[in-house]
Amino acid sequence: MVERSHSYRTRAVILRRRNYSDADRILTIFTPSFGKRVLIAKGSRKTTSRQAGHLELFNHVSLLVAQARTWDIITESVTVESFLRLRSDLDAISRAAYICELVDAFTAEDDEYEAVWELLLLCLRNLDGGPGREAEADLLLRWFELQLLRLMGFQPELFACLGCGEGLQPVENFLHLNAGGVFCPQCGRTMLGAELVNVSTLKILRHIARNQWEALHGLQLTHTSAMAVESVLQRYLVTILERRLKSTDFIQRLRQAPLERIRVEEPGIRAASRGSSHSPPGSEDSFNEVV
Ligand SMILES: [Zn+2]
């Protein structure tokens, strides 16, 4: 049944998992060299399983996998990085789920995704160990979205008009989600499906798109600006994926929940410190000149 001679080792992040039969789990993993894979972890739901602790959702693991006719079989698993906060803090869990769902949605099997792999790990590490400020965690998602779109060849055009090619000016321009970017006022005014995008929203999108996370993470946006940027990117992603991502709804539900955030702490695991509230160096005003 299993051809033991055909085994391979890989690093992986567990994107999804579900129960299968009485004792097994089916895992969707993401790897740097083989893209996405669906594997089976036999016996991993048994309390005696040595693999169970390693095969937690979002874990960065090293796997030995035996090729098989249906799902390849995980024969050995070792945790490389365990993101404890991504198991105990509901906000962090929902954001990690969203990131993993986007990686799942955009990638395929048997392709190499070294850059997406690095991006995924960077974001999981920041969600796990970051200061935990809600706005900063949201900014990380926006940055992740734009970086993933770029790496997968769907980067929205934010700098030159999609119609005439002229550099966009700091005026109200027109966003066209289906066309994949922005048109100048002359080209966009009469275009069906185009919507106005204000100067501030476009500048923030451009700023996030062209910077590394290290240069962005102190940035503070007004709530209105953050919502506007989120709306553009969410709708753009939905346009591309042609479906609404389940975890996006999850984040929305959390945001609307009036009660204090629920914290699910496993025995012996304390949520990571939310850190100090340092003053971020950047502000929305400081890059309004950067267009
Ligand atoms: Zn134009």
Does 217 lie in the same domain as 73? Answer: no
Does 93 lie in the same domain as 14? Answer: no
Could you list which residues have their CB under 5 Å from ion ligand 1?
161, 163-164, 184, 187
Does 89 lie in the same domain as 76? Answer: no
Determine, yes or no, domain membership for 275: no
Distance, CA 188 to ligand 1 centroid (Å)?
7
Place of tokens 């012996």: 268
Distance, CA 195 to ligand 1 centroid (Å)?
14
Does 69 lie in the same domain as 31? Answer: yes
Distance, CA 159 to ligand 1 centroid (Å)?
11
Does 98 lie in the same domain as 225? Answer: yes
Does 76 lie in the same domain as 89? Answer: no
Query: Rounded distance, CA 247 to CA 72, Å?
Result: 27
Distance, CA 185 to ligand 1 centroid (Å)?
7
Distance, CA 254 to ligand 1 centroid (Å)?
40
Does 17 lie in the same domain as 154? Answer: no
Task: Dump pLDDT digits (tens) for 1-41.
Answer: 444 469 999 999 999 999 999 999 999 999 999 999 999 99
Determine, yes or no, domain membership for 75: yes
Determine, yes or no, domain membership for 278: no
Residue 205: band (very low, low, confident or very high) from pLDDT cuts 50, 70, 90: very high
Does 109 lie in the same domain as 28? Answer: no
Q: What is the CATH number of the domain that holds 214?
A: 1.20.1440.120
pLDDT of residue 48: 81
Distance, CA 209 to ligand 1 centroid (Å)?
21
β-strand pairing of 35-41 with 72-81? parallel
Does 171 lie in the same domain as 52? Answer: no
Does the pLDDT of residue 256 top 70, yes or no? no
Distance, CA 201 to ligand 1 centroid (Å)?
18
Does 99 lie in the same domain as 25? Answer: no
Average pLDDT estimate for 86-98: 93
Task: Indicate the residue among 81, 107, 126 that finishes a domain.
Answer: 81
Distance, CA 182 to ligand 1 centroid (Å)?
9
Number of domains present in the structure of the chain: 2
Determine, yes or no, domain membership for 290: no
What average pLDDT is seen over the chain? Answer: 85
Residue 88 or residue 247, greater confidence = 88
Does 185 lie in the same domain as 54? Answer: no
Task: Indicate the residue among 34, 50, 81 that finishes a domain.
Answer: 81
Q: What is the CATH number of the domain that holds 15?
A: 2.40.50.140
Amino acid identity at 248: T
Task: Dump pLDDT digits (tens) for 150-202.
Answer: 999 999 999 999 999 999 999 999 999 999 999 999 999 999 999 999 999 99
Distance, CA 177 to ligand 1 centroid (Å)?
16
Does 130 lie in the same domain as 90? Answer: yes
Distance, CA 169 to ligand 1 centroid (Å)?
10
Distance, CA 143 to ligand 1 centroid (Å)?
26
Task: Indicate the residue among 81, 112, 141 that finishes a domain.
Answer: 81
Determine, yes or no, domain membership for 280: no
Average pLDDT estimate for 130-134: 72
What tokens were used for 100?
């993993």
Q: Which of 58-62, 172-176, 199-203, 282-286 has the lowest mean pLDDT?
A: 282-286
pLDDT of residue 272: 34
Distance, CA 222 to ligand 1 centroid (Å)?
29
Domain assignment of residue 207, given as a range: 85-270
Distance, CA 242 to ligand 1 centroid (Å)?
27
Q: Which of 95-104, 153-162, 244-253, 273-282 has the lowest mean pLDDT?
A: 273-282
Determine, yes or no, domain membership for 127: yes
Distance, CA 161 to ligand 1 centroid (Å)?
5
Distance, CA 206 to ligand 1 centroid (Å)?
17
Average pLDDT estimate for 32-56: 89
Distance, CA 167 to ligand 1 centroid (Å)?
8
Distance, CA 148 to ligand 1 centroid (Å)?
26
Check residue 188 and give left, alpha or beta (phi > 0: left; psi -120 to 50: alpha).
alpha
Neighbours of 78 (CB within 10 A): 10
Query: What is the 3-class SS of the chain, one letter each residue?
Result: CEEEEEEEEEEEEEEEEEEECCCEEEEEEEECCCEEEEEEECCCCCCCCCCCCCCCCCCEEEEEEEEECCCEEEEEEEEEECCCHHHHEHHHHHHHHHHHHHHHHHCCECCCCHHHHHHHHHHHHHHHHCCCCHHHHHHHHHHHHHHHHHHCCCCCECCECCCCCCECCCCCEEEECCCCEEECHHHHCCCCCCEEECHHHHHHHHHHHCCCHHHHCCCCCCHHHHHHHHHHHHHHHHHHHCCCCHHHHHHHHHHHCCCCCCECCCCCCCCCCCCCCCCCCCCCHHHCCCC
pLDDT of residue 14: 97
Distance, CA 190 to ligand 1 centroid (Å)?
11
Determine, yes or no, domain membership for 254: yes
Determine, yes or no, domain membership for 69: yes
